[in-house]
Chain A
């Protein structure tokens, strides 16, 4: 593997940060983007799955729900922000 799982997690985190407020990303979007970047031979879905787990367990990102599940930055607790 050309990258470590921790690196993948960090890149996913950057991606979420950059698109925040513009587009909501799903787990599948992050996975597809990473595989596109590093190539099918280098990393696979399971690597991305582990990376997402690291990302979540570290608290850098959280899951959110707007009629479907998305991965976002943690933000202030409350109902859908108003």
Chain B
């Protein structure tokens, strides 16, 4: 079935960014001197030449209709010559050379329902993934939880009054497309039951050796079921990671009553002050409660508020917890400490207390 030789354009790569740069940015590229934070969501970068570029940052739900993107384009044309960008946390940023346009732009954004903020010591948008909107692997939804949590924290987006930056991320399964493992607060979908093996289709849809090799704990073994080649799972060895499901559709883990959410805290990416670190387990399980996820919302708001009240200026969540110690964190937040908080996977000992340094 050789295809007819049509002339196709391939491998052109992304368009060169230079043609999308605001003239002031192009002129002062690499020549910025300092920046000021004029208001929450409004930045002013000043170049060596004295030129200024103003940035207005607004929230977006990440899942955007083309209708809304065109609205952003309209606003960009009206106020800033059509120049805009998106941030690594899914906010939209308008780039202005005329300071007088900031207020009218903000007004229109607010009227359209897009809060302005997310800069400096505000909570920025939640980095998140697909959930029930578009993924087969999800232990929970993504967009609905983000919406519910940010509704409750919206004032923290539009004000910059936290001790330091606070980054929240959500991933709907352990694949962690949103790479949540280094966030101040991570919301992570988890399964709690081993895969339910579909023996009837397994030999047709999966390659058994690849499937067995996929399991990090070696829990999957070959087995013959009803005379057919299949596999079995040693349930005590299963940690519900869904690696097997990724390579084999006949191993689904989805389970409405046992799937849910775990909360992790104290990770960071930036090298500022302390080294980057992983987030650590705060709450092992909260059930899925659509449509508004009250359990998750309350848990996150509680952690944010306790942090806001107790951390010192410039202390990220993880730095604050290291200063006061984990026992105090659990005490202040009222989160119960359980056996699940103690690591028992490989090299687990690295998180055991191996000194008498205890705060009383």
- A–B contact, 8 Å CB criterion (strictly below): yes
B214 at interface by CB-CB < 8 Å: yes
Contact with B along A56-69 (1 / 0, CB 8 A): 01111000001110
Q: Which of A67, A79, A81 has the most CB of B within 10 A?
A: A67
- Nearest 8 Cβ contacts at the A-B interface: A67-B247, A67-B246, A59-B3, A80-B249, A80-B205, A58-B2, A66-B247, A59-B1
Chain B 1-36 interface residues, beta-carbon cutoff 8 Å to A: 1-3
Known contacts A58-B3, A67-B214; is A82 also within 8 Å of B201 by CB?
Answer: yes
Q: How far is the CA of A80 from the CA of B136 in the complex (A)?
A: 12
B210 contacts A24, CB within 8 Å? yes
Residues of B within 8 Å of A80, CB to CB, are 205, 249
Residue of A nearest to B207 (CB): A24
A74 contacts B205, CB within 8 Å? no
- Count A-side interface residues using an 8 Å CB cutoff: 14
Q: Quick one: which of B2, B204, B248, B249 contacts A79, CB cutoff 8 A?
A: B249
Q: Give the Cβ gap from A71 to chain B, nearest Cβ, in Å.
A: 14
Q: How far is the CA of A68 from the CA of B210 in the complex (A)?
A: 11
Contact with A along B146-159 (1 / 0, CB 8 A): 00000000000000
Residues of B within 8 Å of A82, CB to CB, are 201, 204-205, 249
B214 contacts A59, CB within 8 Å? no
Q: Give the Cβ gap from A20 to chain B, nearest Cβ, in Å.
A: 11
Contact with A along B208-222 (1 / 0, CB 8 A): 001000100000000
Residues of B within 8 A of A (CB): 1-3, 201, 204-207, 210, 214, 243, 246-249
Q: How far is the CA of A24 from the CA of B214 in the complex (A)?
A: 14
Residues of A within 8 A of B (CB): 23-24, 57-60, 66-68, 74, 79-82
Contact sample, A vs B, 18 pairs, CB 8 Å cutoff: A23-B207, A59-B1, A59-B3, A60-B1, A66-B206, A66-B207, A66-B210, A66-B247, A66-B248, A67-B214, A67-B246, A67-B247, A67-B248, A74-B1, A79-B249, A81-B204, A82-B201, A82-B249
Q: Quick one: which of A24, A59, A68 contacts B2, CB cutoff 8 A?
A: A59
Q: Give the Cβ gap from B96 to chain A, nearest Cβ, in Å.
A: 43
A81 contacts B2, CB within 8 Å? no
Q: How far is the CA of A8 from the CA of B201 in the complex (A)?
A: 35
Residue of B nearest to A81 (CB): B205
Residue of B nearest to A82 (CB): B201
Q: How far is the CA of A81 from the CA of B214 in the complex (A)?
A: 20
Residue of A nearest to B1 (CB): A59
Q: How far is the CA of A48 from the CA of B207 in the complex (A)?
A: 26
Residues of B within 8 Å of A74, CB to CB, are 1
Q: How far is the CA of A50 from the CA of B214 in the complex (A)?
A: 31
Q: Give the Cβ gap from B3 to chain A, nearest Cβ, in Å.
A: 5
Residues of A within 8 Å of B248, CB to CB, are 66-67
Residues of B within 8 Å of A24, CB to CB, are 207, 210
Residues of B within 8 Å of A79, CB to CB, are 249
Residues of A within 8 Å of B249, CB to CB, are 79-80, 82
Q: Which of A24, A57, A58, A66 has the most CB of B within 10 A?
A: A66
Residue of A nearest to B244 (CB): A67
Task: Give 17 new A-B contacts, CB below 8 A, not counting A23-B207, A58-B2.
Answer: A24-B207, A24-B210, A57-B3, A59-B1, A59-B2, A66-B206, A66-B207, A66-B210, A66-B248, A67-B214, A67-B247, A74-B1, A79-B249, A80-B205, A81-B204, A81-B205, A82-B205
Q: How far is the CA of A55 from the CA of B249 in the complex (A)?
A: 28
Q: How far is the CA of A41 from the CA of B210 in the complex (A)?
A: 33
Residues of B within 8 Å of A68, CB to CB, are 247
Q: Give the Cβ gap from A41 to chain B, nearest Cβ, in Å.
A: 30
Q: How far is the CA of A51 from the CA of B55 in the complex (A)?
A: 49
Q: Give the Cβ gap from B171 to chain A, nearest Cβ, in Å.
A: 17
Q: How far is the CA of A67 from the CA of B244 in the complex (A)?
A: 9
Q: Give the Cβ gap from A53 to chain B, nearest Cβ, in Å.
A: 10
Q: How far is the CA of A60 from the CA of B248 in the complex (A)?
A: 25
Q: Give the Cβ gap from B196 to chain A, nearest Cβ, in Å.
A: 15
Residue of A nearest to B3 (CB): A59
